Structure 1
Amino acid sequence: MNPETDTSLHEELPEHLDDDAEEVEAQQREVPRSGPLRFARMTGSSIAGRDAAPWVTDFLNAAYYRRAVESREVDDLRFAFSVLTTYWYNKDTHRRLHLNDLAAFHKAYGGERLVTGRSARGTLSRAQLEEGAARLIGDWFPEAYRDDARRGWGIAFETVADREAYNPERRHVLARLGELTPESAPVEEQVWHTYPPVAMPSAEAVIGALTRPETWPDYASEIGRFTPLKAGGLADQVFEIEVAAGTDSGRPIFTRGYVTITQLVTPDDPEALAAWFAALEDGLAKYGENEPRAVPEGGTPLVGFDLTTHQGHFMGNGHNRLLLYTMPDGSAWVKAAGTWDPMPWHIDKAYRIAGREAQHAFWGQGEVERLSMLHQLAKQIAS
C-alpha cells in the first residue's frame, strides 16, 4: 500500500490529522522515487524532521551510545526511544518532532547531564532517564513503560484504554513509503545468504511474540528496531526499520527503511508451508555460495515469512526472510535468510562503510546479545 496513491490511510484518520498528511504528501512529492538522493534522505526516523536530527541523536547518545560498551543496558536505549515516541504521539499537533521541541527536552534532561555524581559527564543513567521522562511526559510514564498492558508500538500509554485506542496509521502517513522493490535481477546474479540460527526458549513463545507486531519494538537491539505501521497481525504488516551503524564508537549513523510482509506460511496451510521452505532450500543450494541449509536435516519447519523492501531501503532491492523450526531434541530456532539484487553503487558504498557488520550482527552473527534483535527476542520471551 502506497500513501502517495492510496487515500484510505487518510480516510481512517481523525480529521485533525489532515493538515499533517498534506504536509507529508508535499514532502513526498519532492523526494525522488529511486537513486542516490532518495537513499540519502532515508535517515533517522519518520517521527523526527531533519531539523530535529541533531538533538534527537544527542539525546540517544547521552542515554546510551556515549556510555562505555561494558556499561550499556539495551533496555535503557529502548526506554529512551519510547520517551521520544511517546512525546511525539502526545503532541497536540501530531506532526514530526522539530527543532522547537528541543526546549522541552532540555528542560527535562539538560541539567542532569552535568551531574557527574549520578552518571558520567554527558550521559544519563536509567534513574535520570526515568525522572526526566516524568517531568517531560508525566509521573505515570516510568511505571507505564514497565507494564506490558500499557506498552505497544514503542509507546507507553497512560491507560490500557489509551493503548487500545492507538491508531498506527498515524505513523504510517509520516513514512516516505515507496513502491515494493523485490529482487528482479537474473537469479544467478542475486545474492543468497543465511545467518546463524539463534536458540529460542520455545517455539510457542516465539510464535506468541512475533504474531503480535506491536511488541516488536520490545526486542530492539543496540543497532536496530522494527516498528509496525499497520493494525493487525503479521499478514501484510508494514514495518519501519531504524538502523544504527558505528555504535561502538559512540557516534552512531542512523538510517531507516521499510519492509512489508508479502508472504506468511504456517502449519495452517501445510502445502504452502512445504512449498515455501522447499523453494528456499532449492535457491540456497543453487545460488548460495557455500550456504548451509535453512533448516538442518531432521528439523521441522514451523513458520516462515518474507519481508520485502520498499524503495530507498538501505540494502537495495530484495527481501529477507525469518523462519522458525524445531529439532528432534525439542529445541526451537529462529534464523534469517535473505535474497538481494546486486547493490547500486551508492548503496554498496554506504553498506561497505557502515552497514555490513551491523546487518550481520543484527541477525545474530557473532552472537553479541546487545547487537542482535534475535538474541534480544530470545532474552525477552525467556524473562
Structure 2
Amino acid sequence: MNPQTDPSIHDEELLEHVDDAQEVEAQQREVPRSGPLRFARMTGSSIAGRDAAPWVTDFLNAAYYRRAVDERDVDDLRLAFSVLTTYWYNKDTHRRLHVSDLPAFHKAFGAERFNTDQSARGTLSRAQLEDGAAKLIGDWFPAAYADDARRAYGIAFETVEDRNAYNPERRRVLAKLGELTPESAPLEEQTWHTYPPVAMPSAEAVIGALTKPETWPDYASEIGRFTPLREGGLDGQTFEIEVAAGTDSGRPIFTRGYVTITTLVTPDDPEALAAYFAALEDGLAKYGDNEPRAVPEEGTPLVGFDLTTHQGHFMGNGHNRLLLYTMPDGTAWVKAAGTWDPMPWHIDKAYRIAGREAQHAFWGQGEIERLSLLHQLAKQIAS
C-alpha cells in the first residue's frame, strides 16, 4: 500500500514514513507548548523546513510580491504556492522541503528570472511560472492546475483518481498541532469585533464553496490562505493559515497558525441557529466597543461557524466566526466576527507592528480585493 496516497493511514503510520520525524520529535520536546518561543517558531509553512525559508520566500517574491502592485494577479500567487505544494506532495519521501530542494527549483526557474523578454528582471511571468512548473513537476501540471476536477488542497493532481486518493492527514502530521485555545478571560476583558460584510453572488454559491474545504486554497488572497488538514466537510475541520504581512513593500514576512471549526450552525437545526446568532448579538451589544450588529435586524442568518485557535496562533487565544446572511432584497453577505483574549506581550507587539492592518484587510476591511479572502471568494464563485 502506498503511504503517499492511502487515505486509510493514521497519524502513527504516517510518522513512520516522515524521513525527518526525528526533527519533528525534537522540536516537540524543545519548543514550549505556548509562549514567545513557540510563537517565534510558527513561521512560514508546515511543508517547508527552516532551512528552506529563504529560497521559498525568494521564489514567492519572484512569482508575485516583487512585482509592482498594479501588475499583480492573485492567481499567479496561488499558482506559485501550488507549485511548491505539488512538488512537496510528489516527492518520494514524506518530509518537508529543505535547502536540498533548491537546485531543482533553480534549474526550473532560475534562468527565467533574468530573461527580461517576458517579465522584469528578478521576477517570473505567468507563462514562465507554468513553463518552469512543467519542467519541475511534469508537462501535465499547467492543465491540471486549471482543471477544477484535478485541483484540491492547493495541489494539482495528474489524474482525478490521484486527487481522490489524497490524504490530508499527511500535512497535519507535519503541522504539530497544539491544543485548542479558545478565549478564557472574563467577558468584559475580551475583544469583540466585527468586520465589514462582503457581498456575495448568492447564498447557494457561498454554501457550495465553503462546504468543500478542499477548495479553500482557491480563495487565497495576497496576504493569507487556508489549507484544510483533515478529510471531510466543515464540521470539525482543521485549517493551516499562512499569513503574510508587509506585502506592499515586496518584502513579506510569513507566519502561520491553526484553527479548528468547533461550532457549525445551519438551517438544518433552526433552534441552534437562532441561539447561536442571539448569543453573538448579545455579546457584541454588551462587550463590543460600539460594534455594529453581526446581522442587520432585517437580515436572515443562514450559516455560522467558529474557527477556534490552537496554541501558537498569531492572534493568541480566541476564535473567529464566519457568518452568512441574506437581506430582504435577496442579496447574500458574508462577514467575520472575532472574540479574543488580551494578547500576551510578544503577540501584541508583533500584531501592532505587522499584523493588525493585514488582519483587517484579510477579512474585507478597506475593500482591497487582492488582500481580502472574502473578496476573493466572491470573485471566484462568480466566475
Query: Counterpart in 2 of 1:311?
Result: 311
Tell me the equivalent position of 1:248: 248
- The answer as to whether partners of 1:217 and 1:227 remain within 8 angstroms in 2 is yes
Residue pairs, 1:49-198, within 5 angstroms: 49-198=49-198
Do 1:24 and 1:173's aligned partners in 2 also have CA atoms closer than 8 Å?
no
**Distance apart, 1:94 and its partner CA:** 1.5
Q: How does 1:154-303 map to 2 (within 5 A)?
A: 154-303=154-303
The Cα offsets for residues 82-131 of structure 1, whole Å up to 9 and x where unpaired, read as 00000000010120000000000000000000001110000000000000
1:237-262 deviation per Cα after TM superposition (whole angstroms, max 9, x unaligned) = 00000000000000000000000000
Alignment partners' CA distance in 2, 1:377 and 1:10: 32
The Cα shift of 1:176 comes to 2.4
Q: Deviations over 1:151-176 (max 9, x none)?
A: 00000000000000000000000002
> Residues 194-225 of structure 1: CA distance to partner in whole angstroms, max 9, x if unpaired?
00000000000000000000000000000000
- Output one character per residue of 1:131-168: Cα deviation in whole Å (capped at 9) or x when no partner: 00000000000000000000000000000000000000
DSSP 3-state at the match of 2:339: strand
Does structure 1 residue 29 correspond to structure 2 residue 29?
Answer: yes
Distance 1:170 1:362 in 2: 27
User: How many equivalent pairs are there?
Assistant: 376
Residues 15-70 of structure 1 show CA distances to partners (whole Å, capped at 9, x for unaligned) of: 86255545423322221111100000000000000000000000000000000000
- Separation of aligned partners in 1, 2:180 and 2:250: 33
3-state SS of paired residue (1:354): helix
Q: Distance in 1 between matches of 2:271 and 2:80?
A: 44
The one-letter code matched in structure 1 to 2:179 is E
| Aligned equivalents of 1:15, 1:258: Cα separation in 2 | 20
Q: Which residue of 1 aligns with 2:4?
A: none
The 1:182–1:14 alpha-carbon spacing in structure 2 relative to 1, beyond 3 Å, is closer
Shift of residue 297 of structure 1?
1.3
For 1:244 and 1:331, how far apart are their aligned partners in 2?
A: 31
User: CA RMSD of the aligned region, Å?
Assistant: 1.3
Instruction: Indicate conservation of the 8 Å contact 2:242/2:255, yes or no.
Output: yes
- 1:340 and 1:296 map into 2 onto residues whose CA distance is 23
Q: Please state whether the residue corresponding to 1:17 is helix, strand or coil.
A: coil
Return the alpha-carbon distance in structure 2 between the equivalents of residues 138 and 205 of structure 1.
33
User: d(CA) in 2 for partners of 1:277 and 1:265?
Assistant: 9
> Normalization by structure 1: what TM-score?
0.96
For residues 147 and 25 of structure 2, the distance between their equivalents in structure 1, rounded to whole angstroms, comes to 36
Pair 1:132–1:352, CA change in 2 (3 A): same
Measured at CA, do residues 9 and 360 of structure 1 come closer, stay the same or move farther in structure 2, by a change above 3 Å?
A: farther
Q: Which residues of structure 2 form unaligned runs of 5+?
A: 1-7
Per the normalisation by structure 2, the TM-score is 0.96
CA distance in 2, matches of 1:50, 1:264: 35
The structural deviation recorded for 1:309 is: 0.2
- The 8 Å contact of residues 324 and 334 in structure 1, kept in 2 or not, is answered as yes
In structure 2, the residue matched to 1:3 is none
Does the 8 Å CA contact 1:10/1:18 hold for their aligned counterparts? no
Query: Which residue does the alignment assign to 2:47?
Result: 47
> Alpha carbons of 1:154 and 1:287: their partners in 2 closer, same or farther (altered >3 Å)?
same
Whole-angstrom CA distance in 2 between matches of 1:336 and 1:260: 15
Residues in 1 aligned to 2:313 and 2:30: alpha-carbon distance in whole angstroms? 18
